[in-house]
Amino acid sequence: MTWVEPHQWYAQLAAFHAAAALFITDDAGRVLLVKPNYRDHWSLPGGYVDLHEAPHQAAERELREELHLDVTAGVLLVVDWASPAEPRPRSLVNFLFDGGDLASPYRLQADPEELDAAEFHTPAQCARLLPPRVAPRVEAALDARARKTTNYLFDGVRPGTGHPVPGAGTTALGPR
């Protein structure tokens, strides 16, 4: 192996973006989704990780900015490697942390500069509202919570299985 100067070696490594979100449910088992005013679809509350920011800090910051909620990121439930997709030219590593349960009564205060709405939805509703590449993270998060583990996805699919999570075809709340 030939010695390579550090700046050359680092320049040849993969470069990618990172995003982080919090997986929050209510006492009925529904999942918190937000409807950004700059997108046509719903998403999990979170966003891109800023320079020199850790993923869990980004998830907490985004929740404060979007919903004025202070929630500490819990265990990592899902990591989803998203391949480049237009207009994003690089891969995106998505971190989904457990944000726990929000017990009622609760008041969601969506920041109107960023969000049209913030609502809880059943896992089945999430599958319809979220983009196809994001929707599998909900089932993977429910599975990870139930099994006290972390699920790794590649473009929303568990590598080697062709399915989003073990036992695809069911959710933690029953058959699809």
Query: Which tokens sit at 110?
Result: 């969506």
Sign of the CA dihedral running 123, 83, 150, 45: negative
Sign of the CA dihedral running 167, 128, 108, 153: positive
The percent of the chain in helix, strand and coil, each rounded to the nearest 5, is 20, 35, 45
**CATH tag for 23-158 (out of 3.90.79.10, 3.40.50.10440, 3.30.830.10, 1.10.10.60):** 3.90.79.10
Tens digit of pLDDT for each residue in 45-88?
A: 999 999 999 999 999 999 999 999 999 999 999 999 999 988 88
Kindly report the pTM of this predicted structure: 0.88
Q: Where are the domains of the chain?
A: 23-158
Tens digit of pLDDT for each residue in 14-26?
A: 889 999 999 999 9
With cut-offs at 50, 70 and 90, classify the pLDDT of residue 172: very low
